[in-house]
């Protein structure tokens, strides 16, 4: 990912926090030089100095087997906003787009044992809807087995983490304030979230 120095996340922990907040991501691989992508919810775990991404495919998804021993890219991105040149001090300007994104590269391995898949599902339920865990635990065993057999669980150990926050850092203080004010008044919650991220940079 192209990242000018002033657009970098301040540190790796900030990138991890972003992934954990916007954890519905896109996993990208290549099949004979053809890009393949699937949109999945992820768990992001910190293991000492390692970052692990965990999720599962539908078993019928051909990408499930295409990730073994191949480079994998997972793209985390969410809030973004159109930036009008009306916010700038000079007329000679053009529109742009503010956004945040994290690209995680690594190698994937399948969680082949059933107990590993069961553990992953419990972790995901606990992460996304803890109140559902008891209902899941009480479901009939044959029903849960059917669900488990229909997925392919995997984890990715990240070896390169790239974070970009393009938030008008190259504009003047007045122009940034204009943008924050404009986006803060928007009825679009995503635009107001960009304003919040910009405000945190002050």
**Is the CB of residue 9 less than 8 Å from the CB of residue 18?**
yes
- Mean pLDDT for 52-81 is 94
- For the segment 131-159, the average pLDDT, to the nearest whole number, is 94
Residue 123 token pair: 């972790």
Give the mean pLDDT of the chain: 95
Q: Under a CB-based contact definition with an 8 Å cutoff, are residues 161 and 14 in contact?
A: no
Q: What is the CATH number of the domain that holds 33?
A: 2.30.110.10
Question: What is the pTM for the complete model shown?
Answer: 0.93
Would you state the structure tokens that stand for residue 191, as one six-digit string?
């635009």
Instruction: State whether the Cα torsion 37-24-155-71 is positive or negative.
Output: positive
Rounded Cα distance between 25 and 109, Å, is: 18
Binned at pLDDT 50, 70 and 90, residue 112 comes out as: confident
Residue 202 has pLDDT above 70, yes or no: no
> Is residue 65 very low, low, confident or very high in pLDDT (cuts 50, 70, 90)?
confident
pLDDT higher than 70, residue 162? yes
Number of structural domains in the chain: 1
The domain in which residue 152 lies consists of 5-171
DSSP bridge pairs for 101:
77, 164
């Amino acid at each position: 990912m192209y990242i000018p120095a002033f657009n970098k996340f301040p540190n790796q922990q900030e990138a991890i926090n972003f992934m954990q907040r916007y954890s519905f991501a896109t996993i990208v691989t290549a099949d004979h030089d053809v890009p393949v992508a699937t949109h999945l919810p992820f768990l992001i775990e910190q293991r000492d100095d390692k970052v692990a991404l965990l999720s599962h495919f539908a078993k019928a998804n051909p990408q499930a087997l295409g990730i073994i021993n191949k480079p994998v890219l997972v793209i985390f991105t969410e809030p973004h906003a159109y930036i009008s040149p009306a916010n700038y001090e000079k007329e000679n300007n053009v529109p742009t787009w503010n956004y945040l994104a994290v690209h995680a590269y690594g190698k994937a391995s399948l969680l082949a044992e059933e107990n590993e898949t069961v553990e992953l599902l419990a972790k995901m339920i606990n992460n996304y809807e803890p109140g559902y865990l008891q209902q899941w635990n009480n479901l009939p065993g044959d029903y849960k087995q059917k669900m488990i057999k229909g997925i392919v669980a995997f984890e990715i150990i990240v070896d390169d983490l790239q974070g970009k926050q393009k938030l008008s850092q190259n504009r003047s203080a007045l122009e940034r304030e204009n943008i924050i004010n404009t986006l803060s008044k928007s009825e679009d919650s995503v635009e107001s979230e960009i304003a919040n991220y910009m405000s945190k940079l002050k």
